[in-house]
Amino acid sequence: MTKKIFILGSKGFVGSSVLSKLKKQNETLVALSRDNFDFLSLDFVEYMKSKVHSGDVIINAAAIAPCKNFDQLRVNAQLIINIQKSISEIPNLRVINISSDAVYPDVDGDISEEIDSKPSSLHGLMHDFREKFISLTHSNLLNIRPTLIYGYGDPHGGYGPNLFLKKLLKNENISLFGKGEERRDHIYIDNLVEIITACIDSNLVGNLNAVTGEVKSFYDIAKIITEISKNKIQINYTERNGPIPHNGLRTFDNSKLLKNIPQIKFDPIEKNIEKILIKYKNEK
């Protein structure tokens, strides 16, 4: 029997990008989203039980993210419970769970997969719970932990490249927290998709940081966007209401990623910004 690849959350930013990539590879795909199923319903559980078989692959990108409050945490918990109800008794499944670097605590130096999860936010707690819950029934589990994701088609507009690009497209000024001096690792959506799809047929289990190993400040990213676009919008500074997140610096060890997916190549963020702007221009 030909293995099927189930993409849960296929209309989301990550899920839809993975779906688009796998369609080009002529894989046998089952795309599931809130458009065609209520993941909190018994119908979803029964459907999955009838369709998923031993040897299939589950790519779980279904979540309310970012998780910002207790109600969203509760829904995310019920969502993963329903997914587990539907697949927990099916043997030999390959499960690729899209998690987040938010499960890690702040540490001195680079964050590697050897560091135990200790989330300090509701979003991190949500992902930590999902990882641990799936691991109760599936040993062939890979948790992919991306840092901040940016790219064309992002629906959230979270602080960073995605928000700055949306401001640019609306011809609005970019406002930074403080002077935008905190430095973070940002991963381009195409690179994340390459990592996810490369792991489908691999034997890699456990946790994997989906990170570039490079950091840029939010000010530098805003400057790159304005310079590449040649737009005259301004970069403004705003006073912080609290301490600088992650002590201003959060760096990652990507040696496990480079060892297991040696073909991965990370273009400079300047080049990726250019590609994104071209796509938005063509869209118009």
Residue 110 to residues 113, 148, 214, 250: CA-CA distances in angstroms? 10, 16, 11, 7
**So what's the pLDDT on residue 25?**
84
Distance of CA 83 to the CA centre of its chain: 19
Helix (H, G, I), strand (E, B) or coil at 218: helix
Residues 128-178: pLDDT tens digits?
A: 999 999 999 999 999 999 999 999 999 888 999 999 999 999 999 999 999
- Does the pLDDT of residue 258 top 80, yes or no? yes
Distance of CA 29 to the CA centre of its chain: 20
Residue that the structure tokens 């369609």 belong to: 23
Ramachandran assignment for 136, one of left (phi > 0), alpha (psi -120 to 50 degrees), beta (any other): alpha
Q: What is the spatial distance between Cα 39 and Cα 44, in angstroms, rounded to a whole number? A: 6
Q: What is the spatial distance between Cα 193 and Cα 171, in angstroms, rounded to a whole number? A: 30
Q: Give the CA radius of gyration of the chain.
A: 19
Q: How many CB atoms lie within 10 A of CB 152?
A: 20
Residues 36-82: pLDDT tens digits?
A: 899 999 999 999 999 999 999 999 999 999 999 999 999 999 999 99
Share of the chain above pLDDT 70, in %: 99
The domain total for the chain is: 1
**So what's the pLDDT on residue 179?**
95
User: 110: domain CATH number?
Assistant: 3.40.50.720
Residues 81-99: pLDDT tens digits?
A: 999 999 999 999 999 999 9
Residue that the structure tokens 């963020």 belong to: 269
**So what's the pLDDT on residue 1?**
60
Residue type, 95: V
How many alpha carbons fall within 13 Å on the CB side of residue 239? 1
- DSSP 8-state class, residue 101: G
27 pLDDT tier (thresholds 50, 70, 90) = confident
Owning domain of residue 80: 5-283
232 pLDDT tier (thresholds 50, 70, 90) = confident
Residue 147 to residues 43, 48, 160, 210: CA-CA distances in angstroms? 33, 30, 12, 7
- Does the pLDDT of residue 21 top 70, yes or no? yes
284 pLDDT tier (thresholds 50, 70, 90) = low
